[in-house]
Structure 1
Amino acid sequence: MDASSLITPELIRQRRADNPKMRDRDLADALGVSEAALVAAHVGQSGPRRAWRIDPDPDRTMPAAEGFGDVMALTRNLSAVHEKVGRYGDYHPGKHAAMVLSEAIDLRIFPGHWRHGFLVETETEGGMRRSMQIFDGAGDAVHKIFLRDGSDLSAWQAAKSGLLIADQSEQIETEPRVALDGARRNPDKLDILRAEWRKMTDTHQFQRLVSKLKMNRLGAYRDAGAPFVRALAPEAVDTMLHAVRDAGIEIMVFVGNCGCIQIHTGRIDTLRPMGPWQNVMDPGFNLHLRRDHIAEVWAVEKPTQRGPAVSVEAFDADGQLILQAFGVGKDGRDSRVEWGRIVEALQGAQTETPA
């Protein structure tokens, strides 16, 4: 019998009550259950934490979120947490990929991974905390929306009635996590990779290229070599954040998981390291980055119709993408030249690229 099957909803609620300030992800890991199971245990309850199961389809949840007004959007992976304050809007549906393109909240959504949804109310010392939470098939968080002071509570109440599904049980069926896919390389296709790389006119063509060649992003970087990529030292990400802050330029910071990518476009003004974490703590944007999880960093250049797109991309020891950063080059705010100088000055890797 799976040990997690012995963890009942009652036990989960007791552990939650015993550890009211513990992050859901940490508590779920400590109990050996999914984070979605932790939330589901509070469905139908009347205590300090309450949850309702909702239809997770972004075609329904994103229009509902537009009514909330000012909120905090959160997307994370195991090594980075990306938080943006703003309003949802300009939703573009799509069967395989959807987008939110409002002024502050910029999302790329992959609906196939939006499998479980909840509305959650938690009584805290600072008052009621309300959130919409979406999880993938394994019960891992895909995207969360937290209401703020001034959010529209009538829209929240409408979501509580309009998005609910028939199944309001306190237990949830999840699937095993998909095995991690590290660097997938194909040296026999290296000449094709380099030739097709040179022909790109848009960065979005890259994923299709490497998939066609039976590679993935990290595998292609390890194979491609100069002038396409340069391996950087793991500490280069931290150096880059400081350099961007000091230069006062705007960049784009991407953090994502299987179901959602969240993007910040703007300056980085306040860095506050704490232990292994580096934290961007700006009024509309927070980034929490585990520097000790960074195993590989690559400076990458891809051709586009508007000139080269230069990025800094960090991966963990399992080959999973942690974050990407690009220079901003749109609407007359072209900081790509200064960004290129910053990237060029970053320290190269001191160890050989893994085989």
Structure 2
Amino acid sequence: MTEHLTASDIRSAKTDAIKIRDRDLAEKLGISEAQLVVAFAGTHGAHRVTRIAPHPDEVLPRVKELGEVMALTRNASCVHERVGTFLEYRAGPHASMVLGPDIDTRIFPKHWAFGFAVEVPTENGTRKSLQFFDHAGDALQKIYLRESSNHAAWEPLVSDLAIEDQSDTIRVAPRAPAQGAKMNMDKRDALLSEWAKMSDTHQFNRITAKLGMNRLGAYRAALGTPWVRPVAPDCVEPFLNAVSKAAQKVILFVGNPGNIQIHWGKLETIKVMGPWLNVLDPMFNLHLRADHVAEAYVVEKPTKRGPAISLEAFDAQGDLIFQCFGQRDGDTDDLATWHGILADLPTREEALV
């Protein structure tokens, strides 16, 4: 914790700035969001925080007991909110997942360092959530109860998951620096050869890692080939409007190092609010800082079912903001509408500095 701020100081700052979101207040105070949350460990009036087991293997199989919830995953530029019930949890040594028609996530447990059950008073009653953070104290996933949730399951779940250490401070690690684009032009021919042989999009990360590149570096290396087309960074708003107008189903990924959350379906109600592009649908909300999009690409990857073509956006530090693929509507759908939407996006002509 920042040396000059005690847990009491943080609680006072939160009381004085009750309408400021935790992430924004933490940044203003020079601490992590997890340090702000843990400062309320115990009961402080109607504000109650319980430290709970952070590992997804312990927590996520239990979340289905809460019934319908809102799952939130975000990065610095985009917030992805999906309503549904946590169903099948599949654990893995390096990656786990939640599978279901509404909540679909990919989880990387080594990043899950801190967990909290949070109860906050609001004008509409107590807002209950489970919140999970990485070693630097940055949010990985938050799970909010709704009016329709099984509130009777909350207390037993929190009691079972509570850990012995209920102190109001934590020690966080420095945030990992942005990786930027890792590109190895000496391996460009090998990249393109391996790319052409792909049969599944999940092979891509293994190919780039083997060649000493990352996603953005590989896309930059492949410029000038049919696999990658750079598009104007301000294309996202017209893209969302085109998807909405065409009633095109999509598969939309937003993630951070510890959690990737996936929306399947349409994007119907698009609203612009200042720098934010928003999807405001009953079961899905997206909040995207359009001004954070520094690079965007239409990317094609071969698969057994035909080409998988996506729109992918990156921020100025080279971090992935989102990926969006077309969702097939039945086995006979050739995704012609989706391909047409992407083809209409303007190509970025200027070179990267």
> Is TM-score (shorter-chain normalized) higher than 0.5?
yes
Paired residue type of 2:29: L
Superposed, 1:62-81 pairs within 5 Å as 62-81=60-79
Q: CA deviation at 1:199?
A: 0.1
Unaligned runs of 5+ in 1: none
Partner of 2:238: 239
Partner of 2:255: 256
Residues 64 and 155 in structure 1, CA contact (< 8 A), matched pair in contact too: no
Deviations 1:180-239 (A, max 9, x none): 100000000000000000000000000000000000000000011221100000011212
Q: CA deviation at 1:150?
A: 2.2
Partner of 2:190: 192
User: What is the distance in 2 between the residues matched to 1:348 and 1:31?
Assistant: 41
User: What is the distance in 1 between the residues matched to 2:352 and 2:338?
Assistant: 24
Partner of 1:316: 315
Residues 249 and 335 in structure 1, CA contact (< 8 A), matched pair in contact too: no
Partner of 1:136: 134
1:219 aligns with 2:254: no
Q: CA deviation at 1:154?
A: 2.3
Unaligned runs of 5+ in 2: none
Partner of 1:337: 336
Superposed, 1:1-355 pairs within 5 Å as 4-225=2-223, 226-329=225-328, 331-332=330-331, 334=333, 336-354=335-353
Residues 249 and 329 in structure 2, CA contact (< 8 A), matched pair in contact too: no
User: What is the distance in 2 between the residues matched to 1:333 and 1:52?
Assistant: 50
Q: CA deviation at 1:330?
A: 6.0
Deviations 1:31-86 (A, max 9, x none): 00000000000001232321000111111111121100010000000000000001
Paired residue type of 1:310: I
**SS of aligned partner of 1:51:** strand
User: What is the distance in 2 between the residues matched to 1:332 and 1:143?
Assistant: 33
TM-score by length of 2: 0.98
Residues 193 and 210 in structure 1, CA contact (< 8 A), matched pair in contact too: yes
Paired residue type of 1:10: S
Residues 249 and 328 in structure 2, CA contact (< 8 A), matched pair in contact too: no
Q: CA deviation at 1:333?
A: 7.6
Residues 269 and 279 in structure 2, CA contact (< 8 A), matched pair in contact too: yes
Aligned residues: 352
Residues 62 and 88 in structure 1, CA contact (< 8 A), matched pair in contact too: yes
Paired residue type of 1:256: G
Residues 222 and 353 in structure 1, CA contact (< 8 A), matched pair in contact too: no
User: What is the distance in 2 between the residues matched to 1:52 and 1:332?
Assistant: 47
Residues 231 and 353 in structure 1, CA contact (< 8 A), matched pair in contact too: no
**SS of aligned partner of 1:45:** strand
Residues 184 and 214 in structure 1, CA contact (< 8 A), matched pair in contact too: yes
Q: CA deviation at 1:92?
A: 0.8
Deviations 1:291-346 (A, max 9, x none): 00000000000000000000000000000000010001264483622111110110
Q: CA deviation at 1:151?
A: 1.1
Q: CA deviation at 1:284?
A: 0.3
Deviations 1:254-287 (A, max 9, x none): 1000000001010011011010000000000000
Residues 116 and 136 in structure 1, CA contact (< 8 A), matched pair in contact too: yes
